[in-house]
Amino acid sequence: MQGSVTVHMSAPAQDIWELVSDVAKIGLYSPETFEAEWTGGATGPAVGATFRGHVKRNGRGPVYWTDCTVTECEPGKAFGFNVGAAGATVNNWRYELTPTDGGGTDVTESFRLENRLPMKAYWLLFGKLRGKTNEDGMRQTLERIKAVAES
């Protein structure tokens, strides 16, 4: 009930972190989340800050808003958040940035579904297809971030 994709970027980790942690720009990168905004008085990334994302599932629909909370915020190293529904965490997303010896940064985007019965049932029924969709989307997101980071 998890997956990840890593893409090497020829850019400093701090520059990339500034891109991935700016949720207001997610629509430039993600094939599913086309906009996001900070909520609850938050104006930028910090553990506990909240935002909501406007999602077009699978790039086709349905279209809906998700409530998110920043769970990890280490400039130049990691940015993570959870996605909630009906007051419970459903999914956890994370970006990990690892500087490389040859220069640049390996950027890993990952997701992990919560280990609860409804999510287990969902994964059993749709896991293979949804996992592939998530991996394709993460790769597309990272490639778009890479294009900006390296420009």
Tens of pLDDT, residue by residue over 64-78, are 999 999 999 999 999
Q: 144 burial class (0-12, 13-18, 19+ CB within 10 angstroms)?
A: middle
Is-contact 146 7, C-beta < 8 A?
yes
* Tally of CA atoms within 13 A in the half-sphere of 129 that contains its CB: 5
Read off the CATH number of the domain in which 14 is found. 3.30.530.20
Residue 145 corresponds to which tokens in the numbers above? 């971030």
Q: What is the pLDDT of residue 129?
A: 66
Domain count, the chain: 1
Give the residue numbers spanning the domain of 62. 2-149
Q: What is the pLDDT of residue 117?
A: 66
Q: What is the pLDDT of residue 63?
A: 93
Can you list the residues of the chain whose pLDDT is less than 70? 117-120, 123, 125-127, 129-130
